[in-house]
């Protein structure tokens, strides 16, 4: 396209010409949409020039008609990304001599600058969802955003559907009222549900058009072909480390993605053990100190690293052009997530990305194969954005009261214009408002203590400036696990979960930050440790397997593969033999039905359910089934769940499988169990903090986060007993239903399996059950079984003298 045909104003065109810039069609479409005043969602693979596509229309507008106030607001899920975008835009804006001031605003911005940004905002502001909520809670938000013309939300796919996304959607609804003329612009990876995502972006009543960029050539995805050394269970893939190291040697720059921090530490250590060529290989995960992560990112950006081992901490972020291979260790869990990870390689649209999948056990071989087939078919998966959380709504309501008095009707109208709250019932809104106002407790005399009061016109006000101050100190929806700093001598290496640290005994060794450390003691909020010199195997951070459950889509593909023996030919020999043996001794799981096996082993009877619905759903099923088996006299002793399978062992065999697996278990049994479940307690803590029931920190004195953990349990017990239908308990159950307990998926499975359960009574363990039996005893049993375990542990402990 000749340059003068571009829709660029004369002040910009020569600059772009000098850089030899040729616009992508979607970038031109974005300019056209902006000129028509349309809101748009752009979905494009990484490397498609998304950021420029988002900002170009604003640059053009500001070059033509300078603005005195805030013109473009850019919101990113990552603080680092906001800072990086700012850095990348500053120099072209300066070189072009455009009348644009660009600034960032994050939690790190000094208070004086924040105050100035509200009163005299720059033309372009780069910020995060939390900082936006903070700005919107100030009375002068009306003025700050009066001249706003564009809101750009980056990485929309990572925000929509999360609680941060709920908060941002409510913020967008408020922005639409403050600045009705502003366009909403969303930048997203390619996703399975663009319509829902567009609706989300349109929060506040915008109609959003979807522009999809060319998806470029298919990535070249291969699976590392394991031989006999392929493990039956486990997630570490240590057998493949030699191959992996050779792959790194053959490439310029590699990202090795893993699923958990524990895997990251171990893989990193194993690579360095083999690193005879002393290749620069680094480690990146969310528990490492921020400065250390920034250093690794900078080294990667400068092309100084041959490989970085990373968790989801690198799923989003700054583009690095030089990566020529992405490795996924362990199961990919979902096609969309894998696609996005692979997209981190080769950030040029015209070249295919290269990726290598490394399965860690036999089931993961099937999952990797299924993922490769799905990518070849350009299929995507992932959940649609769910309904917004009432805890987030409570936080937002208080924020809006801090900004200006409101009437319940007007705020309800505004809130329901945000997509996640589109179907919000008035009753739930009223209850949430009552919670914000006076706690919403069924105790009349308690209403004297309140955060809001309403005037004679029915408008709600905050009762005092302290309430507003406390709101601002507790803003946001990210509730971190209680973390302890890890200190070695004078240096802080990063943080570990409190629970992990409390499980260490003095002298225990563990892997952290790529080093073997020897635990000494916990002092206050710190773990004191020393570097370990001996080479004995360290105790490894516990495996956190539940984070990303197997997607429904991949699960269905895996079931499909099991049903079609013709497809097994391409599988590695040990996997083929394993499946053949299963066909001989038992039967293959059905694509739509449900295979259940039982067999005796040692003194116990085992019941194995092949659900393929992800670990959280299987965990819940395990809890419910053991309860029912107890009633039926089968004397269950414990269970273990993976993404694929659930196994329960008991003293007596399970009987009447069909009624055991009846959907009715999702009624009373579920309710009883949920109330006692430790998962619900964990959910409640998050809900209570987000809703503002429990504070993160008080003005003046910061409570240790340790105390918050303990108190939320006490509050949960009291509230559940006296007011089980309280809004926060409803929010807690809703959270757990899609998250930790995944009741939704369990319900779908039971409905699907009704009348289609294949039950096989075997005289010994089936081949397909071997992996799950290896998991037995490796991990914790949850919920009700705790009582039995207390007894079990008591027996041990009575005879045990514990040193301190």
Shortest Å, Cβ 741 to other proteins: 17
CB of 427 to other proteins, least distance (A): 20
Closest to other proteins by CB, 290 vs 502, is: 502
Closest among 26, 72, 66, 59 to 184, alpha carbons compared: 72
623 binds other proteins (CB under 8 A): no
Site for other proteins contains 710 (CB under 8 A)? yes
Tokens of 163: 């609680």
> How many CA within 13 A on the CB side of residue 382?
24
**Nearest-approach distance from CB 604 to other proteins, in angstroms:** 8
Show the site string, 752-781: x = touches other proteins by CB under 8 A, - = not: -------------------------x-xxx
Strand ordering across the sheet containing 515-523: 491-497, 483-488, 526-531, 515-523, 509-512
- Of the residues 228, 668, 725, 795, which one makes contact with other proteins according to CB under 8 A: 795
Q: Which is nearer to other proteins, 340 or 712 (CB)?
A: 712
Selected from 16, 441, 548, 759, the binder of other proteins by CB under 8 A is 441
Closest CB 31 distance from other proteins, rounded Å: 49
Is 719 one of the binding residues for other proteins (CB under 8 A)? yes
Contact 478, 107 (CB under 8 A): no
Q: Does 36 bind other proteins (CB under 8 A)?
A: no
Helices (H), 552-677: 552-563, 573-585, 615-631, 657-660, 668-676
What is the spatial distance between Cα 205 and Cα 172, in angstroms, rounded to a whole number? 9
Cβ atoms of residues 562 and 586 within 8 Å:
no
Whichever of 531 and 698 has its CB closer to other proteins, that residue is 698
The answer to whether residues 44 and 26 touch, using CB atoms and an 8 Å cutoff, is: yes
Q: Site residues for other proteins, window 162-191 (CB under 8 A)?
A: none
Rounded to an integer, what distance in angstroms lies between the CA atom of residue 284 and that of residue 313?
A: 7
Select from 439, 538, 589, 614 the one that contacts other proteins (CB under 8 A). 439
Q: Taking CB under 8 A as the rule, which mask of x and - marks residues 477-516 in contact with other proteins?
A: ----------------------x--xx-------------
Q: Could you say whether residue 443 binds other proteins (CB under 8 A)?
A: yes
Separation CA 740–CA 616 (nearest Å): 6
Select from 717, 724, 752, 761 the one that contacts other proteins (CB under 8 A): 717
CB closer to other proteins, 140 vs 544: 544
Using CB under 8 A, pick the residue from 314, 401, 555, 637 that binds other proteins. Answer: 637
Binding residues for other proteins restricted to 647-686, rule: CB under 8 A:
651
Nearest residue (CB) to other proteins, 266 versus 375: 266
**Terminal Cα-to-Cα distance of the chain (whole angstroms):** 76
Nearer to other proteins, 19 or 444 (CB): 444
Which residue in 666, 798, 678 sits closest to 745, CA to CA? 666
Q: Where are the alpha helices (H) located in 179-260, listed in sequence order?
A: 194-201, 241-250
Q: Taking a C-beta distance cutoff of 8 angstroms, is the pair 59, 72 a contact?
A: no
Q: Does 68 bind other proteins (CB under 8 A)?
A: no
C-beta closer to other proteins: residue 503 or 767:
503
* Contact pick of 246, 252, 304, 722 for other proteins (by CB under 8 A): 722
Least distance between other proteins and beta carbon 297 (Å): 33
Please spell the DSSP secondary structure of 414-431, one letter per residue: HHTTSGGGTT--HHHHHH
Tell me: does residue 467 bind other proteins (CB under 8 A): yes
The least CB distance from residue 525 to other proteins, in Å, is 13
Structure-token match 């829902």, residue found: 196
Minimum distance of other proteins from residue 474's CB (angstroms) = 10
Q: Minimum distance from CB of 735 to other proteins (Å)?
A: 18
- What's the rounded Cα separation, in Å, for the pair 439 and 450? 7
Residue 321: enclosing H or E segment and its boundaries?
none
Decide if 748 contacts 738 (C-beta within 8 A).
Answer: no
In whole angstroms, give the CA distance from residue 692 to residue 368: 42
Nearer to other proteins by C-beta: 407 or 711?
A: 711
Nearer to other proteins, 320 or 782 (CB): 782
Complete DSSP assignment for 27-42: HHHHHHHHHTT-EEEE
Which of 65, 107, 280, 446 is in the footprint of other proteins by CB under 8 A?
446
Q: Is 705 in the site for other proteins (CB under 8 A)?
A: no
CB of 694 to other proteins, least distance (A): 8
Which position among 386, 451, 557, 615 is part of the footprint of other proteins (CB under 8 A)? 451
Cβ nearer to other proteins, comparing 407 with 542: 542
State the nearest-atom distance from the C-beta of 729 to other proteins, in Å: 10
Query: Residues 726-745, buried b or exposed e (16+ Cβ, 10 A)?
Result: bbbbbbbbbbbbbbbbbbeb
Stretch that binds other proteins, among 7-15, 23-31, 222-230, 795-803 (CB under 8 A): 795-803
793 binds other proteins (CB under 8 A): yes
| Listed ranges 174-182, 216-224, 476-484, 791-799: which one lies at the site for other proteins (CB under 8 A) | 791-799
CB distance 744 to 736 below 8 Å: no
Per CB under 8 A, the list member of 164, 605, 726, 745 interacting with other proteins is 726
CA separation for the pair 767, 103 (Å, rounded):
61
Distance of alpha carbon 703 from alpha carbon 723, whole angstroms: 27
701 binds other proteins (CB under 8 A): no
Minimum CB separation from other proteins for residue 607, in Å? 16
Long-range pairs, 237-241, Cβ under 8 A, ≥24: 237/263, 237/267, 237/329, 237/330, 237/358, 237/359, 237/360, 238/266, 238/270, 240/329, 240/358, 240/360, 241/267, 241/270, 241/271, 241/274
Report in angstroms how near the CB of residue 699 gets to other proteins at its nearest: 10
Asked if residue 797 binds other proteins (CB under 8 A), the reply is yes
Rank residues 568 and 684 by Cβ distance to other proteins and give the closer one.
684
Residues that contact other proteins, how many (by CB under 8 A): 57
- 544's CB contacts (< 8 A; 6+ apart) are 260, 261, 262
Closest CA to 596 of 55, 464, 605, 61: 605
697 binds other proteins (CB under 8 A): no
Is 435 an interacting residue with respect to other proteins (CB under 8 A)?
Answer: yes
In contact, 311 and 259? CB cutoff 8 Å:
yes
Q: Which of 463, 492, 770, 774 binds other proteins (CB under 8 A)?
A: 463
Backbone φ and ψ for 638, nearest 5 degrees, come out as 175, 175
Side-chain half-sphere CA neighbours of 103 within 13 A: 18
Six-digit token string for 392: 């987030």
Contact status: 751 vs other proteins (CB under 8 A): no
Nearer to other proteins, 21 or 441 (CB): 441
Is 578 a binding residue for other proteins by CB under 8 A? The answer is: no
CB 664 within 8 A of CB 741: no
DSSP structure class, residue 219: P
- Chain position carrying tokens 């997630």: 235
Residue 725 binds other proteins, judged by CB under 8 A: no
Q: Where does residue 411 fall: left (phi above 0), alpha (psi -120 to 50 degrees), or beta otherwise? A: alpha
Encoded one letter per residue, x for contact with other proteins by CB under 8 A and - for no contact, window 522-561 reads --------------------x-------------------
| 789: contact with other proteins by CB under 8 A | yes
| Interacting residues toward other proteins by CB under 8 A | 435, 438-439, 441, 443, 445-446, 449-451, 463-464, 466-467, 470, 499, 502-503, 542, 637, 651, 693-695, 707, 710-711, 714-715, 717-719, 721-723, 726, 777, 779-782, 786-795, 797-798, 801-804
């Amino acid at each position: 396209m000749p340059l003068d045909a571009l829709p660029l104003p004369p002040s910009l065109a020569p600059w772009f010409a000098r850089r030899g810039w040729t616009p992508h069609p979607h970038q031109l479409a974005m300019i056209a949409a902006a000129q028509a005043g349309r809101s748009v969602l752009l979905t494009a693979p990484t490397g498609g020039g998304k950021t420029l596509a988002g900002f170009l229309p604003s640059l053009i507008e500001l070059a033509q008609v300078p603005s005195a106030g805030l013109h473009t607001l850019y919101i990113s899920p990552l603080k680092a990304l906001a800072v990086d975008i700012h850095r990348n835009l500053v120099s072209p804006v300066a070189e072009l001599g455009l009348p644009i001031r660009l600034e960032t605003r994050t939690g790190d911005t000094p208070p004086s600058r924040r105050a100035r940004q509200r009163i005299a905002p720059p033309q372009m502001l780069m910020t995060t969802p939390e900082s936006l909520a903070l700005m919107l809670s100030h009375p002068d938000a009306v003025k700050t955003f009066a001249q706003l013309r564009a809101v750009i939300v980056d990485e929309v796919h990572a925000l929509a559907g999360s609680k941060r996304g709920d908060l941002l959607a409510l913020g967008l609804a408020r922005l639409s009222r403050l600045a009705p003329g502003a366009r909403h612009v969303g930048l997203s990876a390619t996703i399975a549900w663009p319509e829902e995502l567009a609706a989300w972006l349109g929060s506040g009543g915008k109609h959003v058009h979807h522009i999809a960029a060319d998806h470029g050539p298919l990535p070249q995805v291969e699976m590392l072909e394991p031989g006999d050394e392929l493990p039956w269970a486990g997630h570490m893939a240590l057998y493949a480390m030699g191959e992996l190291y050779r792959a790194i040697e053959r490439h310029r720059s590699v990202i090795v993605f893993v699923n958990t921090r524990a895997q990251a530490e171990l893989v990193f250590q194993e690579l360095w053990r083999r690193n005879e060529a002393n290749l620069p290989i680094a480690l990146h995960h969310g528990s490492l100190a921020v400065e250390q992560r920034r250093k690794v990112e900078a080294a990667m950006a400068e092309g100084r690293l041959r490989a970085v081992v990373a968790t989801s901490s690198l799923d989003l972020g700054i583009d690095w052009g030089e990566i020529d291979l992405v490795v996924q260790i362990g199961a990919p869990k979902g096609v969309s997530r894998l696609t996005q990870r692979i997209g981190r390689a080769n950030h040029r649209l015209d070249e295919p990305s290269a990726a290598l999948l490394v399965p860690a056990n036999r089931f993961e071989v099937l999952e990797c194969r299924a993922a490769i087939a799905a990518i070849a078919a350009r299929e995507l998966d992932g959940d649609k954005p769910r309904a917004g959380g009432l805890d987030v709504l409570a936080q937002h309501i208080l924020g809006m009261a801090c900004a200006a008095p409101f009437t319940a009707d007007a705020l309800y109208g505004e809130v329901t214009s945000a997509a996640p709250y589109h179907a919000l019932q008035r009753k739930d809104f009223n209850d949430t408002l009552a919670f914000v106002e006076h706690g919403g407790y069924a105790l009349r005399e308690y209403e004297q203590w309140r955060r809001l009061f309403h005037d004679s016109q029915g408008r709600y006000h905050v009762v005092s400036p302290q309430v507003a101050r406390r709101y601002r100190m507790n803003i946001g929806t990210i509730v971190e696990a209680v973390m302890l700093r890890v200190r070695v001598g004078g240096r802080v290496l990063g943080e570990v979960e409190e629970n992990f640290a409390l499980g260490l005994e003095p002298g225990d060794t563990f892997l952290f930050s790529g080093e073997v450390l020897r635990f000494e003691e916990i002092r206050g909020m710190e773990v004191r440790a020393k570097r370990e010199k001996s080479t004995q195997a360290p105790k490894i951070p516990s495996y956190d397997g539940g984070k990303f459950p197997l997607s429904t889509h991949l699960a269905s593909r895996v079931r499909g593969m099991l049903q079609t023996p013709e497809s097994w030919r391409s599988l590695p020999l040990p996997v083929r033999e394993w499946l053949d043996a299963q066909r001989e001794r038992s039967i293959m799981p059905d694509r739509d039905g449900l295979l259940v096996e039982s067999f005796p082993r040692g003194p116990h009877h085992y019941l194995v359910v092949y659900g393929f619905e992800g670990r959280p759903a299987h965990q819940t099923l395990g809890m419910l089934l053991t309860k029912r088996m107890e009633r039926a006299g089968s004397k269950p002793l414990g269970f273990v769940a993976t993404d694929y399978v659930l196994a329960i062992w008991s003293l007596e065999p399970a009987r009447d499988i069909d009624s055991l697996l009846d959907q009715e278990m999702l009624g009373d049994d579920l309710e009883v169990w949920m109330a006692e479940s430790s998962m619900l307690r964990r959910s409640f803590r998050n809900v209570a903090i987000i809703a503002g029931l429990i504070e993160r920190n008080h003005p003046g004195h910061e409570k240790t986060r340790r105390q918050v953990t303990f108190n939320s349990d006490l509050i949960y017990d009291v509230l559940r007993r006296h007011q089980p239908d309280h809004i926060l308990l409803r929010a807690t159950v809703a959270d757990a239903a899609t998250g930790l307990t995944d009741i939704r998926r369990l319900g779908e499975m039971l409905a699907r399996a009704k009348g289609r359960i294949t039950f096989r009574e075997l005289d010994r363990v089936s081949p397909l059950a071997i992996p799950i039996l290896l998991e037995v005893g490796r991990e914790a049993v949850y919920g009700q079984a705790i009582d039995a375990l207390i007894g079990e542990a008591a027996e041990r402990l009575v005879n045990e003298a514990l040193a301190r």
